[in-house]
């Protein structure tokens, strides 16, 4: 084959065009900031980009939908609260009308007052948001209560999109509110913290260390999963011999009788076995169930009362892995790994004078103090806040000294211990001063451990930031305990708040300005009705029962009703 000058020329032109094309593409990427413009530029990047765009759209939709549902449900809650107060007034008026000795004039006055309450309730039932009536079910454009007092809506549920294949009902239809006998027949209660399968979420920690950490997936717990899947673990070992997971249950049975129970289970036992044991605590037997204990699609435990007309069942549960305790306060004072199942917006929670760090299962260089530094009004502390504004006991006594003990195991196995460290707290001491004090003690007491401290949402977190701690499964071992003290009183004072899930023995009052309101309704054990001022404590109290014929009363002999306030 003969190579001509023309062929050289064509080859040069072709190469030049290719270079110009590549230069044009690079220039476009630099000027626009866009790596690819068309699918053919990079198929893999284009597919990944489309997937991310889809996920961003889904998250945006979930956020907007949830916010809309929250506003709707908040207005519904307010309306139901107002209706509840009006019904109490209605009951009082009916009781007054039933009293002997009322004249026709007084009866007529009571009747007018009842009509007034009825009209007020009708107006509340016809509450709307942006032209949508909140009690009409899915018939949002129809006023639920007509002038003839007929219900014009339906029993449809409004559902908010809160994630992939996850929907949540956020309305109460008038059909269920006015005619829903099923709620009066069988009460349903539920935990409100969704549970994720920890083995699937952290396979690199719980299954095989060679699995990449980003291979984890979120999947809600179901009854076929194991207790280890629910509680989590710090290694790949499955303990099939020792019951090391302890579930502390407190509740009320259908007849109003309180109970407490501790259920201990092994790693390999199933969640279904736990649900069955919870049912046994309520009185379920082989031959008869008094409650149905199930788990919904979001990993939340649901309990249904099978007794007609009962509204007294209650349930609270918290769990730890390790050693069982007799006092729940020990869970937060001795550094236990804790699992919560119920979260509640209490304005006050039990307080402790001592707490200790807990090592994270899945990032073992991270340690947390399992208490909150916050005020009575729920404001969480920041590191710039004054300690004495937050760390006060129920009587308003502020901490003036914080005692600390340290134990650090170094990478070479050296154990460094430093006990009896005191931080004097005055009117100018901030949480930043506490952080600096802890850092200083670590620097003086250890060989190769450096730490970072931050307070987030009122919770102190400590991270081992030495080079040896780069791997999440570090051999780092840090222990720190804090004790709050008041020198004037000469005693330790309880100032650090535990989660509301630990409030099994206390009832708290919600605070709104100058008004405090109890957040636990008192229901008579026999009549299943709300207590009044004239109701005896024994008619609503729970605990040991008296022998017949007074079996409906609780024995309050030698017991105390403890009230604390400020």
pLDDT of residue 427 exceeding 70, the answer is yes
Cα–Cα distance between 469 and 554 in angstroms, integer?
56
Cα–Cα distance between 123 and 479 in angstroms, integer?
59
Cα–Cα distance between 393 and 373 in angstroms, integer?
12
User: What was the pLDDT predicted at 148?
Assistant: 83
User: Sorting pLDDT into bands at 50, 70 and 90, what band is 351?
Assistant: confident
Q: Which two tokens stand for residue 131?
A: 């032209």
* pLDDT tens figures, 32-45: 656 666 656 666 76
* pLDDT tens figures, 556-566: 777 777 777 76
pLDDT of residue 298 exceeding 80, the answer is yes
Bridge partners, residue 189, by sequence: 303
User: What was the pLDDT predicted at 67?
Assistant: 75
- Which is more confidently placed, 467 or 121? 121
User: What was the pLDDT predicted at 434?
Assistant: 92
Phi then psi for residue 233, to 5 deg, are -160, 165
Cα–Cα distance between 524 and 180 in angstroms, integer?
22
Cα–Cα distance between 235 and 341 in angstroms, integer?
23
pLDDT of residue 544 exceeding 70, the answer is no
Cα–Cα distance between 151 and 455 in angstroms, integer?
52
| Helical H segments across 214-362, by residue range | 227-231, 271-282, 329-333
* pLDDT tens figures, 62-77: 677 777 777 878 888 8
Residue 423's H or E segment, with its range, is: strand 415-424
Task: Report whether 261 contacts 317 (CB < 8 A).
Answer: no
User: What was the pLDDT predicted at 26?
Assistant: 66
With a threshold of 0.75, does the pTM exceed it? no
Average pLDDT for 189-202: 89
Binning the chain into helix, strand and coil, the percentages to the nearest 5 are 30, 25, 45
* DSSP codes joined into one string, 443-466: HHH-SS--EEEEEETTEEEEEE-S
* pLDDT tens figures, 112-143: 888 889 899 888 888 888 888 888 888 888 88
Average pLDDT for 272-288: 92
Task: Report whether 349 contacts 500 (CB < 8 A).
Answer: yes
Look at residue 257 and give its three-state secondary structure. Answer: coil
Task: Report whether 71 contacts 78 (CB < 8 A).
Answer: no
Q: Is 114 left (phi over 0), alpha (psi -120 to 50) or beta?
A: alpha
Contacts of 346 (CB under 8 A, 6+ apart): 500, 503, 508, 519
User: What was the pLDDT predicted at 552?
Assistant: 44
* pLDDT tens figures, 356-393: 998 888 888 889 998 888 876 668 888 899 999 989 88
pLDDT of residue 10 exceeding 80, the answer is no
Cα within 13 Å of Cα(5), Cβ side: 0
Cα–Cα distance between 447 and 304 in angstroms, integer?
56
Q: Which two tokens stand for residue 177?
A: 């509110």
User: What was the pLDDT predicted at 470?
Assistant: 47
Task: Report whether 550 contacts 544 (CB < 8 A).
Answer: no
* pLDDT tens figures, 493-514: 988 888 777 776 666 677 667 7
Residue 35, exposed/middle/buried by CB under 10 A (0-12, 13-18, 19+)? exposed
């Amino acid at each position: 084959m003969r190579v001509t000058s023309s062929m050289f020329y064509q080859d040069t032109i072709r190469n030049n065009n290719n270079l110009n094309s590549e230069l044009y593409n690079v220039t476009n990427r630099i000027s626009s900031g866009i790596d690819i413009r068309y699918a053919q530029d990079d198929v893999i990047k284009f597919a990944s980009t489309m997937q991310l765009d889809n996920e961003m759209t889904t998250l945006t939709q979930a956020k907007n939908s949830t916010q809309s549902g929250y506003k709707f449900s908040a207005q519904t809650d307010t309306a139901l609260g107002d209706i509840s107060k009006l019904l109490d007034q209605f009951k009082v008026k009916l009781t007054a009308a039933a009293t002997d000795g009322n004249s026709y004039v007084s009866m007529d006055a009571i009747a007018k007052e009842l009509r007034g309450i009825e009209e007020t309730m009708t107006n509340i039932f016809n509450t709307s948001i942006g032209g949508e009536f909140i009690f009409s079910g899915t018939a949002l454009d129809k006023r639920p209560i007509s002038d003839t007092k007929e219900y014009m809506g339906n029993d449809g549920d409004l559902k908010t999109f809160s994630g992939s294949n996850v929907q949540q009902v956020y309305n109460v239809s008038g059909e269920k509110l006015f005619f829903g006998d099923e709620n009066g027949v069988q009460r349903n209660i539920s935990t409100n913290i969704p549970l994720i399968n920890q083995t699937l979420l952290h396979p690199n920690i719980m299954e095989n260390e060679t699995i990449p950490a980003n291979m984890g997936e979120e999947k809600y717990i179901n009854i076929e999963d194991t207790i280890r899947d629910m509680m989590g673990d710090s290694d790949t070992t499955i303990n099939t011999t020792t019951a090391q997971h302890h579930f502390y249950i407190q509740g009320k049975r259908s007849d109003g009788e309180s109970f407490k129970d501790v259920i201990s289970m092994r790693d390999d036992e199933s969640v279904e076995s736990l649900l069955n044991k919870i049912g046994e605590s309520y009185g379920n037997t082989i031959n008869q169930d008094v409650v149905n204990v199930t788990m919904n699609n979001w990993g939340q435990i649901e309990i249904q009362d099978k007794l007609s007309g009962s509204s007294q069942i209650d349930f609270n549960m918290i769990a730890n892995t390790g050693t069982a305790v007799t006092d729940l306060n020990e869970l937060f004072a001795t550094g236990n790994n804790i699992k919560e199942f119920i979260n509640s917006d209490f304005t006050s929670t039990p307080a402790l004078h001592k707490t200790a760090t807990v090592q994270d299962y899945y990032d073992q260089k991270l340690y947390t103090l399992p208490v909150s530094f916050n005020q009575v009004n729920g404001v969480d502390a920041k590191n710039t806040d004054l300690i004495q504004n937050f760390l006060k006991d129920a009587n308003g006594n502020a901490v003036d000294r914080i005692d600390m003990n340290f134990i650090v195991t170094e990478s070479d196995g050296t154990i460094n211990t430093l006990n009896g460290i005191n931080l004097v707290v005055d009117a100018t001491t901030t949480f930043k001063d506490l952080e600096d004090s802890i850092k200083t003690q670590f620097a003086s007491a250890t060989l190769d451990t450096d730490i970072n401290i931050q307070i987030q949402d009122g919770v102190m977190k400590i991270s081992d930031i030495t080079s040896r701690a780069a791997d999440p499964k570090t051999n780092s071992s840090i222990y720190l305990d804090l004790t709050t003290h008041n020198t004037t009183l000469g005693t330790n004072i309880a100032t650090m708040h535990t989660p509301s899930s630990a409030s099994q023995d206390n009832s708290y009052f919600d605070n709104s300005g100058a008004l405090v309101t109890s957040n636990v309704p008192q229901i008579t054990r026999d009549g299943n009705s709300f207590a009044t001022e004239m109701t005896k404590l024994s008619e609503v109290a729970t605990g040991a029962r008296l022998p017949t014929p007074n079996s409906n009363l609780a024995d309050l002999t030698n017991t105390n009703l403890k009230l604390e306030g400020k």
